[in-house]
Amino acid sequence: MTEAAVLALDRVGVEWPGAASGAERYVAVEDVSLSVARGEFLSVVGPTGCGKSTLLNVAAGLLAPTSGAVLSFDEPLAGLNRRAGYLFQADALMPWRNARENVEAGLVFAGVERAQARERAEEWLRRVGLSGFGDRYPHQLSGGMRKRVALAQVLILEPQILLMDEPFAALDVQTRQLMENELLHLWSAERRSVVFITHDLEEAISLSDRIVLLSAGPRTRPIGEFHIDLPRPRDVAEIRLTPRFVELHGRIWAALRAEVLKAYAVSQRLG
Amino acid sequence: MRSASGSDKSAARPRRRAPLVAYRVLLIVAVFLAWHVLTATGVLPSFFFGRPLVVLARVWDWFSSGKIYPHLGVTLVETVLAFAIGTLFGVAAGLWLGLSPMAAVLLDPYIKAANAMPRVILAPIFAVWFGLGIASKVALGVTLVFFIVFFNVFQGVREVSPVVLASVRMLGATPRQLVRHVYLPSATSWVFSSLHTSVGMAFVGSVVGEYLGSAAGVGYLILQAEGTFDIDTVFAGILVLTAFALMLDLAVTRAERRLLTWHPRAPEDER
């Protein structure tokens, strides 16, 4: 590889201490190597509970791996990943700040002058289609609008890489497709790298350049990699009807199916 | 559309409200009438139960002559000081213990003991320490307010959403900025949720303090009247205190509304 990867996981493993002392340690993730190139949209797909979020937290520097290393532009990561923006699955807006104050938060933390921060926040609110909603508090916004604010909040800092943990999972189907198109639109303008975590294969195919499949947990590891050569720009609703999409879906699903069944069997046993 | 449902509700309110207020007034008039009839006919001895007409005349006399104002002023100053100082210490201690689990574990049994102790019993000690002036009443009020605020802030700090915390850290907040922009606002909302109780407690502290030994204040008026078996004045004092407490509560509600605009108040606001 000629260019330094924006983010690389090098044989990362994560273990949790067992519930009882002396109990076996739970190995959530084992020996995972991944790398994301500049401007690449990578989706990580795996069955529910396979440690996808764990991997993302490792990439963000929120969680230190038990073994292996995280590299950001070929440098080992120490502490939080300052080049990354993180979009969480759950609501992560500060409820005591209105939309504009939430969007400008990162700039204020960095010491940007208030007036300038405010101006840029307004600009970002406009870009995510929320101009005029700056004075609303999170509880006064719909789920989709809150996601837009969260997106603006992260993107205003112009991160080199965007980490997204099933960000649209809680939205209804229509809002979700709108947000996915919105995301593609914003992404194509700036071409930042994205790591998108999801358990929804269709979402992954319609958004990504590349998909990495993870096995069912415990001891999650990558079990397959697929390049998505669908043409861009894409419309997530329309692209699902193209023959190439159906073909890719069939191939990837064949690989994923066994893991989903395995995860289901485990959850049945535990339940 | 939510604002529409909100205005529907506020439009429906005055229509239902007018008769309700009338009924409430009627109820209090009926209670006073019953009191008057029972004491005037001698069913209840007026020596123990007072005469409502004399009680009302006493209240009227206090306000028309202006005799009550200095006493009310003293009680108000004590209440406000006790509330302010108690809240300040409560927030500081709550933040400190909430953010350093070691100290919290160490002090836990002592905090529980101090909270379980009936703190009104400290009034004589405070009277010895701080004299019969305002200071001893404020001290008593502070001990009452402190624990309410302390427990609320402590809880508030511990229950800050981990997702919001992680998100704000990813946005680049330093530990100090975390305290200022996340812990403090979150704790403030808990302080406000306990505002009614803590203002009420500050008031209890002042009045009980006055009652146990003082030279001014509404509690002192009641104490004096009781010493001469002037039960009418005792009732008049109680009436004034009740009205005063109601006004304090109203002021708190007003303040709350202004300061907690971000808070999802009614369930109708929630999605």
Count of C-beta atoms within a 10 Å radius of residue B215: 11
Average pLDDT along chain A: 89
B1, B2, B161, B171, best to mutate vs chain A, most A CBs in 10 Å: B171
Q: What pLDDT score was predicted for residue A1? A: 47
Inter-chain residue contact A154 with B177, CB threshold 8 Å? no
Confidence class for position B267, pLDDT limits 50, 70, 90: very low
Q: Which residues of B touch A82 (CB under 8 A)?
A: 172
In order of B59, B65, B75, B222, the CA distances from B68 in angstroms are 9, 8, 11, 12
Percent of residues, chain B, with pLDDT higher than 70: 91
Does position B245 have pLDDT exceeding 80, yes or no? yes
Query: What is the distance of C-alpha A5 from the center of its chain?
Result: 17
Confidence class for position A88, pLDDT limits 50, 70, 90: very high
User: B113 to chain A nearest CA, in Å?
Assistant: 32
What number is the average pLDDT over the span B201-217? 88
User: B195 to chain A nearest CA, in Å?
Assistant: 18
What number is the average pLDDT over the span A235-242? 92
Q: Is B223 exposed, middle or buried (0-12, 13-18, 19+ CB in 10 A)?
A: middle
Q: Is B220 exposed, middle or buried (0-12, 13-18, 19+ CB in 10 A)?
A: buried
Of A78-92, A205-219, B73-87, B186-200, the poorest mean pLDDT is in: B186-200
| pLDDT, tens only, B15-29 | 566 788 999 999 999
| pLDDT, tens only, B125-167 | 898 899 888 899 999 999 999 999 998 888 888 888 899 999 9
Q: Which residues of B touch A150 (CB under 8 A)?
A: 167
**CB–CB of A187/A194 below 8 Å?**
yes
Confidence class for position A120, pLDDT limits 50, 70, 90: very high
Q: Which residues of A touch B160 (CB under 8 A)?
A: none
**Across the interface, which of B167, B185, B270 has its CB nearest the CB of A96?**
B185
Domain spans of chain B, in order of start: 1-49, 54-265
What number is the average pLDDT over the span B118-122? 86
Q: What pLDDT score was predicted for residue B265? A: 58
Inter-chain residue contact B170 with A60, CB threshold 8 Å? yes
Q: Does A54 touch chain B (CB under 8 A)?
A: no
Inter-chain residue contact A140 with B269, CB threshold 8 Å? yes
What number is the average pLDDT over the span A182-188? 91
User: B38 to chain A nearest CA, in Å?
Assistant: 54
Quote the ipTM score: 0.87
Inter-chain residue contact B263 with A139, CB threshold 8 Å? yes
Inter-chain residue contact A86 with B181, CB threshold 8 Å? no
Inter-chain residue contact B177 with A109, CB threshold 8 Å? yes
Q: What pLDDT score was predicted for residue B1? A: 37
Does position A223 have pLDDT exceeding 70, yes or no? yes
Does position A135 have pLDDT exceeding 50, yes or no? yes
Inter-chain residue contact B270 with A139, CB threshold 8 Å? yes
Q: Does B263 touch chain A (CB under 8 A)?
A: yes
Q: Does B254 touch chain A (CB under 8 A)?
A: no
Q: What CATH fold (topology level) applies to the domain B54-265? A: MetI-like fold (1.10.3720)
Q: Which residues of A touch B166 (CB under 8 A)?
A: 62, 86, 88, 92
Q: Does B5 touch chain A (CB under 8 A)?
A: no
DSSP-derived letter for residue A216 is P
Does CATH place domain A7-83+162-270 in 3.40.50.300? yes
Does position B270 have pLDDT exceeding 50, yes or no? no
Q: Which residues of B touch A139 (CB under 8 A)?
A: 262-264, 269-271
Does position B266 have pLDDT exceeding 70, yes or no? no
Q: Concatenated DSSP letters for A35-58?
A: EE-TT-EEEEE--TTSSHHHHHHH
Q: What pLDDT score was predicted for residue B268? A: 36
Inter-chain residue contact B171 with A95, CB threshold 8 Å? no
Strand order in the sheet with A7-16: A26-36, A7-16, A67-72, A75-76
Average pLDDT along chain B: 85
Q: Does A82 touch chain B (CB under 8 A)?
A: yes
| Statement: the pTM of the whole predicted model exceeds 0.80 | no
Does position B59 have pLDDT exceeding 50, yes or no? yes
Q: What pLDDT score was predicted for residue B14? A: 54
Secondary element (H or E) of residue B36: helix B2-40
**Across the interface, which of B172, B186, B263 has its CB nearest the CB of A109?**
B172
Q: Does A157 touch chain B (CB under 8 A)?
A: yes
What number is the average pLDDT over the span B70-85? 92
Q: What pLDDT score was predicted for residue B38? A: 92
Q: What pLDDT score was predicted for residue A43? A: 95
**CB–CB of A207/A173 below 8 Å?**
no
User: B173 to chain A nearest CA, in Å?
Assistant: 5
Peptide bond into B101 cis (omega under 30): no
Does position B7 have pLDDT exceeding 60, yes or no? no
Q: Which residue has the tokens 């009732």?
A: B235
Q: What pLDDT score was predicted for residue B9? A: 46
Does position B5 have pLDDT exceeding 60, yes or no? no
Q: Does A132 touch chain B (CB under 8 A)?
A: no
Inter-chain residue contact A96 with B186, CB threshold 8 Å? yes
Residue span(s) of chain A under CATH 3.40.50.300 come to 7-83+162-270
pLDDT top residue among B4 and A162: A162
CA atoms in the 13 A half-sphere facing the CB of B152: 26
Q: Give the residue on A whose Cα is nearest the Cα of B187.
A: A96
Query: What is the distance of C-alpha A250 from the center of its chain?
Result: 23
Q: Which residues of B touch A92 (CB under 8 A)?
A: 161, 163-164, 166-167
Q: Give the residue on B whose Cα is nearest the Cα of A137.
A: B262
φ, ψ of residue A13 to 5 degrees: the values are: -130, 145
B3, B165, B167, B177, best to mutate vs chain A, most A CBs in 10 Å: B167
